[in-house]
Amino acid sequence: MVFDRDAVVTVATGNAGKLRELLRLWGSDPPLLIGPGASYVEVAETGATYEENAVLKAVALSDRIGAPALADDSGIEVEALGWGPGVLSARTPSPDSSWQERNAHIIAACDAFGDLARRARFVCVCAFVVPGSPPLVARGEVEGSIAFAPAGDSGFGYDPIFIYPPFSLTFAQAGEEKKDSVSHRGRAVRAMRELLRNRYS
């Protein structure tokens, strides 16, 4: 399949917060990015890496709809957890945990080890799949630390406990514009945009 820059690209996610962020980061320049709607079906994230999971999700949706698809896999890595939970971030401490429970779990692990183990990073990998073509993969990372308590009302997931040192704020306190300028997902999306320009311009 020859990729048309005026094509519609469907996002392979059932996470409403992630979808809003991806649509905002992607912007209005072609190709058009849209949510999956009824096309989305949960895919088991069996990969050992962010890259494997992102490609797995993008390929599954692209095969299902016969059109281009974009997926991301992302997570937080914390020194106090041996640089986990990583790809298990949305399933820690259990698949049924709320985000409040996940944030509390991370903070408790850091508290147990002391201030020297509060270093953390967010990682995001985007995969873009066009039927019949090899996937494009782009990665973004941002370094920070874990807060002593959640703070801020913006963002989602682990944003209330991830401090970005140059801002001295959590991502949830920084607001969308500041967060987008430095976030792991923002960096991955911008890198993906560049890969698309290079391959399909």
pLDDT in tens, 50-81: 999 999 999 999 999 999 999 999 999 999 99
The answer to whether position 1 is within a domain reads no
Q: Where does the pLDDT of residue 92 fall: very low under 50, low under 70, confident under 90, or very high at 90 and above?
A: very high
Is 1 a residue whose pLDDT tops 50?
no
159-164: long-range contacts, CB 8 A cutoff, minimum separation 24: 160/103, 161/103, 161/106, 161/107, 162/76, 162/120, 162/122
Mean pLDDT on 183-192:
98
Question: Considering the chain, what percentage of its residues have pLDDT values greater than 90?
Answer: 87
Reading the block at residue 180, the tokens are 């987008």
- pTM value? 0.95
Number of domains in the chain: 1
The predicted pLDDT at position 3 comes to 67
Output the domain CATH number for residue 123.
Answer: 3.90.950.10
- What is the distance, to the nearest Å, from the Cα of residue 102 to the centroid of all Cα atoms in its chain? 16
The predicted pLDDT at position 115 comes to 78
The answer to whether position 3 is within a domain reads no
Range with lowest mean pLDDT among 28-42, 132-146, 165-179: 28-42
Is 112 a residue whose pLDDT tops 70?
yes
Which secondary-structure segment (H or E) carries 65?
Answer: helix 50-65
The answer to whether position 134 is within a domain reads yes
Instruction: Just list the catalytic residues.
Output: 73
The answer to whether position 2 is within a domain reads no
The answer to whether position 185 is within a domain reads yes
The predicted pLDDT at position 139 comes to 98
Mean pLDDT on 14-41:
93
Q: Whole-angstrom Cα distance, residue 36 to residue 68?
A: 11
- What is the distance, to the nearest Å, from the Cα of residue 27 to the centroid of all Cα atoms in its chain? 16
Q: pLDDT digits over 152-183, tens only?
A: 999 999 999 999 999 999 999 999 999 999 99
By residue range, what is the domain housing residue 34?
Answer: 8-200
